[in-house]
Amino acid sequence: MMDSFTFPGLTTRVIFGAGTMARAEEEVRRLGHDKALVLSTPHQKADAQKLAQSLGGLAAGVFAGAVMHTPVEVTEKAVDAFRASGATAVVSLGGGSTTGLGKAIAVRTGADQVVIPTTYAGSEMTDILGETAAGEKTTRRSPDIRPETVIYDVDLTLSLPVGLTVTSAMNAIAHAMEAFYAPDRNPVIVLMCRDAMAAFRDGIPRLIADPQDRTARTQALYAAWCCSTALGYVSMALHHKLAHVFGGSFDTPHAETHAILLPYTTAFNEAAVPDLLRPMAEAFGGGSAGGGLWDFARSVGSPLSLKEIGIEETDLDRAAAIAVKNAYANPRPIDLGSIRELLQAAFEGRRPG
């Protein structure tokens, strides 16, 4: 039980179920709009066109140019397309890259956002926008960035490849892990995170056996909502900082980077706050939260080492130096030596704890 807390409330409207994408039109109209631009990556263009067709006169067109890390050049093209189309809202269909583009348009134009997430990355419930300009990624938070409505449709996740299913789930678990020790956590978020751990632990192995398992897909998407809410409403620390260092300065793939770092960042902070991370240790077994997550990662075929994603041992000093450059809140004090050690273990893929 927590003795004291602040619960900020949850402002985003959430529709969850199967076949719920059909409710996009009603949700856009509910926000008071009669023209919306549909967004997607090039890969999901056909799905976006289908969605636009189903929106009929409400659709102002499709912009299928979303790419990872929200480059400003792409956003500028998308804002031009948005303005030319006469739309006043966006419908973002896809993973974190597409949601990021919708947020970038919203923050520049005041557009409302209806987001239909198709991965477990968890951008949809947050007020966070990461953008890349001249090769540098910066992150900002603002109430204008948080989407108005999120439609979770289990049917859209059936096509998520097994590899991305696993790493995207690990990405989501990382949000919950850091929420368990966030100084501004509250009982609602902690309960959601506990529920999410059980749902992912049970759902992911079933999805490896059968990616079309609807019950497991429902469990995983529900867990993703819980973890996204945690990311959107409480502070993150070391884990997200390190993932940002690798993604931003070494251009490593987003979900895999989170997946690889997670057991190591968990073990690092578990040494300082074992009680707060006990729900993780209980969910994954293995005697410790860090060790249990590593065992889980291995059992579901998630990548385990930084060397698997192209990081060289000689990169580790620079990564550690960037990670400790600016101070930020973390349950365990951070210094160059201990972060370098953490990165060595993550580079080699050694089981922590």
- Which one-letter DSSP state was computed for residue 277? T
Closest approach of ligand NAD to the CB of residue 286, in Å = 26
Q: Strand, coil or helix: what is 254?
A: helix
When CB distances to ligand NAD are compared, the closest residue is 96
Report the residue from 123, 229, 257, 288 that binds ligand NAD according to the rule CB under 6 A. 123
3-state helix, strand, coil in the chain (%, to 5): 55, 10, 30
Residues in CB range of 9: below 8 A, 6 or more apart: none
Q: Does 255 bind ligand NAD (CB under 6 A)?
A: yes
Measured from the Cβ of residue 248, the count of other Cβ atoms closer than 10 Å reads 18
Closer Cβ to ligand NAD, 12 or 157, answer by number? 157
Q: Does 94 bind ligand NAD (CB under 6 A)?
A: yes
Single-letter amino acid code for the residue at 255:
A
The closest alpha carbon to 90, from 38, 166, 127, belongs to 38
Residues in the chain: 353
Q: Does 142 bind ligand NAD (CB under 6 A)?
A: no
End-to-end distance of the chain based on CA atoms, in angstroms?
27
Phi and psi at 196, nearest 5°, equal -65, -40
Q: Does 168 bind ligand NAD (CB under 6 A)?
A: yes
Closer Cβ to ligand NAD, 253 or 286, answer by number? 253
Q: Does 349 bind ligand NAD (CB under 6 A)?
A: no
Q: Does 121 bind ligand NAD (CB under 6 A)?
A: yes
Closest approach of ligand NAD to the CB of residue 152, in Å = 12
Closest approach of ligand NAD to the CB of residue 161, in Å = 6
Q: Are 118 and 94 in contact (CB under 8 A)?
A: yes
Closest approach of ligand NAD to the CB of residue 70, in Å = 6
- What's the rounded Cα separation, in Å, for the pair 46 and 23? 19
Closer Cβ to ligand NAD, 189 or 345, answer by number? 189
Q: Does 113 bind ligand NAD (CB under 6 A)?
A: no
Q: Does 119 bind ligand NAD (CB under 6 A)?
A: yes
Phi and psi at 234, nearest 5°, equal -135, 165
Q: Are 150 and 125 in contact (CB under 8 A)?
A: yes
- What's the rounded Cα separation, in Å, for the pair 154 and 106? 26
**Distances in Å between the alpha carbon of 174 and those of 75, 105, 148, 149, 321?**
27, 27, 24, 23, 22
Report the residue from 75, 92, 113, 118 that binds ligand NAD according to the rule CB under 6 A. 118
Binding-site string for ligand NAD from residue 44 to residue 83, where x marks contact by CB under 6 A and - marks none: x-----------------------xx--------------
Q: Does 160 bind ligand NAD (CB under 6 A)?
A: yes
Q: Does 97 bind ligand NAD (CB under 6 A)?
A: yes
Q: Does 157 bind ligand NAD (CB under 6 A)?
A: yes
Q: Does 41 bind ligand NAD (CB under 6 A)?
A: yes
Please report, as ranges, the residues that interact with ligand NAD according to CB under 6 A.
41, 43-44, 68-69, 94-98, 100, 118-119, 121-123, 126, 128-130, 156-157, 159-160, 164, 168, 231, 254-255
